[in-house]
Amino acid sequence: MLDLRWLDSSFAFQKIIVAFQDSKAGPAIEVRAHAFAWPEIEEKILKSGCRVVRKERCGTDAEISAWVEKEKNGILAGILKRVYWETTAGCNLACRHCRRTDVSESVCPDDLSTKESKAMIDELAAFADIDLVLSGGEPLIRKDIFEIASYAVKKGIRVGMATNGTLVDRAMAARIKAAGIAYASVSLDGAKPETHEALRGKGNFELALAGFKNLKETGLRVQFNFTVTRQNAAEVPFVHELAVSCGASSLFLFLLVPVGCGVQIAESAMLGAAEVEQWLQWAHRKNQEGPLLIKTVCAPHYYRIEAQNDGASTAGSARLLRHTGESRYPEKSRDSGFHRNDGGEHEHSRKGCLAGIRMCFVAHQGDVYPCGYLPVSCGNVKHVPLKKIWQESPLFQKLRNPSLLGGRCGACSHKRICGGCRARAYSVHQDVLQEEPYCAYQPAG
């Protein structure tokens, strides 16, 4: 069944066409979507030559009405679609750009226990249809990580894993696959050993590549995560080539946020606004060419560039699908999962910063944040239900209201799509609603 509830419409319908051109099952389709979207969805499916054999109406009338009303008032609906969970603060590496400053070499005594972890999973399964990304630290140093992952999968949650790859031999990769984990990311911060290891430690380049290969051999979808700094920016095209040659499902380019250890290297490592613009333009051009999907993370102004270059915020994504036949991995469809777009409802819904809008971050001791780079706690799952935090947190409510944005972001016509990086705004201005400091765009007026 294709799940179209949270997809950007142009991207989604192109995906339908590609999927059923390649499908052995023939031109019949089962679709899950919100009731109010059915007329447009069915019309476009029929035009593609497919027929709907079963449809599943999602969302109660009250939920749909509330969502529509918020959208009419300019508020972005807070619909939780993925949770990044820092399963432990422990890690076998000590990366120079880590968002943590207090990384432990082993699991921490205040990590959520197995029992507390399962309780959180129970709650998530009961109130949200989500992807759960197991991160760290390094999640693989938790002895119960596969018990936890399997438990979540059995509860109907789609599970991904973010790993540095260095601990993933063939046996470990097989355990990851057997636990039901559906996709993974491996961090790679250079096309050459010396570049990667300047951030992540000597000897870890080949280990990361070996871990990636071992995961791929199990049949998992695996992406590369690359944090762009001044020291490695020139290697981005070569990492792109490496990702293509390795069979990566996608390449995620992270724009450094000065938080944790990143504060210590920010002055020498952060790209300037003009340099950011240059690389985002490059990423947009490559996404037109294919074959590899590039996703920019903590760089929401990519979607302003996409809108400016394409004349519509979704046209570029649709063209990419015609090149590749790829779903949003992990952005745009239900067959993968790291950075799903909110899409599907309006072509001008938020695509950029989704913190507190479609996603949140749960720290190892249970604190809940809008994202892993925005260190403002909204509550703790040990004391307050995550559903209550998600629905009632004053900070989350503010993040869902684009009219509250200040500075250039507040004046920008692209603020609904982009939103600016709220974590970088907070790190520079100590104000989560201030303007994105590393955007070169000057709005009219």
Query: Which pLDDT score is estimated for 113?
Result: 97
Query: Nearest CA to 220 among 133, 160, 143?
Result: 160
Query: Nearest CA to 328 among 25, 75, 81?
Result: 81
CA angle 378, 298, 375 (to 5 degrees): 25
Which backbone phi and psi does 380 adopt, to 5 degrees?
A: -130, 135
CA distance 86 to 366: 9
User: Quick check: bond before 27 cis, omega within 30?
Assistant: no
Query: Which pLDDT score is estimated for 92?
Result: 65
Contact yes or no for 200/93 (Cβ under 8 A):
yes
Contact yes or no for 350/416 (Cβ under 8 A):
yes
Reading the chain (445 residues) residue by residue, the pLDDT tens digits are 555 554 443 444 454 555 554 554 455 656 655 554 555 566 666 666 666 555 555 555 666 666 666 666 778 888 898 999 999 988 867 665 565 555 556 678 899 999 999 999 999 999 888 899 999 889 999 999 999 999 999 999 999 999 999 999 999 999 999 999 999 999 999 999 999 888 788 889 999 999 999 999 999 999 999 999 999 999 999 999 999 999 999 999 999 888 765 566 677 778 999 999 999 999 999 999 988 999 999 999 999 999 998 764 343 333 333 333 333 333 333 333 444 443 333 445 789 999 999 999 999 999 999 999 999 999 999 999 999 999 999 999 999 999 999 999 999 999 999 999 999 999 999 999 999 999 999 998 6
User: Quick check: bond before 300 cis, omega within 30?
Assistant: no
Query: Which pLDDT score is estimated for 103?
Result: 53
CA distances in angstroms from 30 to 19, 42, 53, 326, listed in the order given:
12, 11, 6, 19
Query: Which pLDDT score is estimated for 12?
Result: 45
HEC-encoded secondary structure of the chain: CEECCCCCHHHHHHHHHHHHHHCCCCCEEEEEEEHHHHHHHHHHHHHCCCEEEEEEEECCHHHHHHHHHHHHCCCCCCCCCEEEEECCCECCCCCCCCCCCCCECCCCCCCCCHHHHHHHHHHHHHHCCCEEEEECCCHHHCCCHHHHHHHHHHCCCEEEEEECCCCCCHHHHHHHHHCCCCEEEEECCCCCHHHHHHHHCCCHHHHHHHHHHHHHHCCCEEEEEEEECCCCHHHHHHHHHHHHHHCCCEEEEEECCCCCCHHHHHHHHCCCHHHHHHHHHHHHHHHHHCCCEEEEECCCCHHHHHHHHHCCCCHHHHHHHHHHCCCCCCCCCCCCCCCCCCCCCCCCCCCCCCECCCEEEECCCCEEECCCCCCCCCCECCCCCHHHHHHHCHHHHHHCCHHHCCHHHHHCCCCCCCCCCHHHHHHHHCCCCCCCCCCCCCCCC
Query: Which pLDDT score is estimated for 181?
Result: 97
The pTM is what?
0.81
CA distance 120 to 142: 17
Sheet holding 2-3, edge to edge: 2-3, 28-34, 51-58
Exposed, middle or buried: residue 109 (CB in 10 Å: 0-12, 13-18, 19+)?
Answer: exposed
Query: Nearest CA to 171 among 214, 120, 207?
Result: 214
